[in-house]
Structures are given as C-alpha cells and as structure tokens.
Amino acid sequence: MDTKIQKALEIWHTHFADEQNHYSEFESSDIEYFVGCMLYNHFAFSKALHTMKTMDLSYDFLSSCSDEAYKSVAEIIGSIAFDTEEEKLKFLQEYIQKAKSKYTPEELYLLERLEYHVEAMAQRYEKNVDAVKIDFKNPLFR
C-alpha cells in the first residue's frame, strides 16, 4: 500500500485504538472506508454520478476522529496527485482491494458500498460515457 495512505491509516488507527474515541457501531474498517471517501472526494471524478460527486463523512466519525488527526489525514490525502483520472481511479480501486483484504466479510459493508460506486464509475470510464442523472421518483406520485 502507498506509504502516504499507510501513514493516514496509522494516524486514525492509533487514535481509535483508544476505545474512548469510539462512537456507536464503530468498526476498524470504518477508518479504511473514510480514507477511501476522502480519496474519492479529493480526486473529484468527472464521471461520478451527479448525486455522487462527493461522499459525506459521517458526523459520528468526524466528531470522534479529532481535529488534529483529521487535519493530518486531510493534508496527506491532499498531497496525492496523478496526471489523469484513470490513474486516480486505478489507485482508488487498488486501495479498496487492499483495504478489504484486512477484514472479514462481516466487516466490509461500508467498503463494499464504496467499491460498488467506484466500480460503476469505472465502467463509465471504460466505456467512455458520461454519468446519467438518476431521477428517483416516488411511485405513488407518478
């Protein structure tokens, strides 16, 4: 795994090693998920769905991760640069696979959710198509 990413993960894993910093339903894999979300947001993919241009970090995580740790991780993520979106996408895909390999299937819910969105976006890059806005409609009001 990239040394910058390892450092970012180390910061939060060290912080959350203290159970007093945990929040309701905390799992160690949350850390990899939120680093993945920060990468996704930093890379600002042009082929992301309109409704998925950014991924929100949960309030519980943000309120528990400490301002100092967040700032350190944000600086690390902000320093990661690639020339093309395809390189960014490949980096994120590889990150997700390595992150998933650290956990049991029961701990992968959030990482798999991130992977689902990233893989759907990867298909748009592969086919060289732009994202289509998804219009969710309540069937009762059609």
Question: In this predicted structure, what is the pLDDT of residue 135?
Answer: 58
Low-confidence spans in the chain with pLDDT less than 70:
1, 133-142
Question: In this predicted structure, what is the pLDDT of residue 139?
Answer: 61
Q: Is 98 exposed, middle or buried (0-12, 13-18, 19+ CB in 10 A)?
A: middle
DSSP the chain: --HHHHHHHHHHHHHHTSGGG--TT--THHHHHHHHHHHHHHHT-TTS-GGGSS-PPPHHHHHHS-HHHHHHHHHHHHT---SSHHHHHHHHHHHHHHHHTTS-GGG-HHHHHHHHHHHHHHHHHHHT----------GGG-
Q: How far is CA 135 from CA 34, 61, 130, 141, in A?
A: 27, 29, 16, 13
Question: In this predicted structure, what is the pLDDT of residue 31?
Answer: 95
Euclidean distance between CA atoms 92 and 63, whole angstroms: 25
User: Which amino acid is residue 108, in one-letter code?
Assistant: L
For the stretch 9-33, pLDDT in tens is 999 999 999 999 999 889 999 999 9
Domains of the chain: which residue ranges?
Answer: 3-141
Evaluated on CA atoms 76, 42, 115, 20, the torsion sign reads positive
